[in-house]
Amino acid sequence: MPGNQSVVNDGGGRSAGNRSAGNDGGGWLAGDDGGARSAGHDGGGQSAVDADGGGRASAGSRKRRRTPRSDWEFPLLTDWGFRPEQQKLLVIIAAVAGLVASAVGLVALVGSIGDYSPEGRASAAVLGPDTTLPQVFHGWSSPKLFDPVADRAKDERALTEKEVFGQSELPVSKKLKLKLVAKQLDADCSAALWGENLLEQASDAGCTQAARGLYASSDGRYIGQYTLLNLKDGQSASDLVESLKTLYRGGWTHPLASSKAVFPAGGYSEAGGYALGHYVGLVWLGRTDGTEPTPKDDFVSLTLALRGAEKAVYRRVVSITGPSS
């Protein structure tokens, strides 16, 4: 009979199971969803407690944790196939290499600063084992007294050896004199000077004459040389003296050769440069034993005596301005 029927077949041929008295004709147990599943099992045989209709884990199930990303994982290196520990090693190697390169560069820079000397490298080929040059240099600009000979166009007469080195002795004191032991006048200034920068500057300054005189003191303790350069104008003379304040170690005058006086190789000596209108006077002085001067060595008086060769320039000023000046 319909009211006591235990098995009901629907149109799909599925067994509906026993219905409870509370079920209506078209309903299933309240725990089933619209997928027409039985109270204990759904059509796919899954437990309603373990899974929902979408096959996802329920809220009560334990979720799988993701492995945290390594601090040494870089996308580019990962794409290239490097593991995190390999990437860490690469970063450390690169950092160490950078520090080493920086240290090497710093050492090279400090070394180059410590070895610097004015024009030392440029003149290395010029300096021989016996080359002697001053350890100290001072320069002075031209006094107004020499303005009348500031332009060679107003003082065209060439220097003569007798004019500059006419005195064979220059007095230092009552007992001490400087004796002329060698002299030379060159029309080519490169014969008297050395050093690339100095030669270039002398050429640009229109240097046409270089007069050199070598002196030895009467007591045999001192040696000195005076050089007079003939340039085109006072500005060129002042510029040359000014540049020598920093570049004299890379270019200086050649000492004259003499058996009576020699600048000792590597010995101590001092020098000074004086702009005198369009002329430049260079004084070079030292002890014959190459040692530094003591308080008993009067280099000031010796320098003033060497500058006696400048009388030739004073006479030229007088010839232009007259005795009254």
Strands 269-276 and 136-140 come out as parallel
**Residue 15: pLDDT over 60:** no
Beta-sheet strands, E only, within 162-253:
169-171, 177-186, 193-194, 209-217, 222-230, 252-253
Amino acid at position 11, single letter: G
**Residue 232: pLDDT over 60:** yes
**Residue 231: pLDDT over 80:** yes
Q: What is the mean pLDDT of residues 212-218?
A: 97
Domain ranges of the chain: 1-63, 75-114, 136-321
At 325 the pLDDT is 52
Paired with 94 in beta bridges are none
Could you report the per-residue pLDDT of 29-88, keeping only the tens digit for each? 344 444 444 444 444 444 434 444 444 444 444 555 555 555 556 565 566 666 676 656
- pLDDT confidence tier of residue 249, bands split at 50, 70 and 90: confident
Phi, psi of 79 (to 5 degrees): -65, -30
Contacts of 320 (CB under 8 A, 6+ apart): 148, 149, 154, 155
Could you report the per-residue pLDDT of 161-195, keeping only the tens digit for each? 999 999 999 999 999 999 999 999 999 999 999 99
- pLDDT confidence tier of residue 252, bands split at 50, 70 and 90: very high
- What predicted TM-score, i.e. pTM, was given to this entire model? 0.62
Paired tokens of 84? 């995190």
Strands 193-194 and 252-253 come out as antiparallel
Mean pLDDT of the chain: 76
Q: Quick one: which of 233, 234, 216 has its CA closest to 225? A: 216
Mapped onto helix, strand or coil, the DSSP state of residue 281 is: strand
Which range is most confident: 7-11, 104-108, 223-227, 257-261? 223-227
How far is CA 308 from each of CA 32, 46, 162, 186, 305, rounded to the nearest angstrom? Answer: 129, 124, 13, 20, 5
Task: Assess contact for 231 and 278: CB atoms under 8 A.
Answer: yes
Q: What is the residue-wise DSSP string for 114-132?
A: HT--TTTTTTTTT--TT--
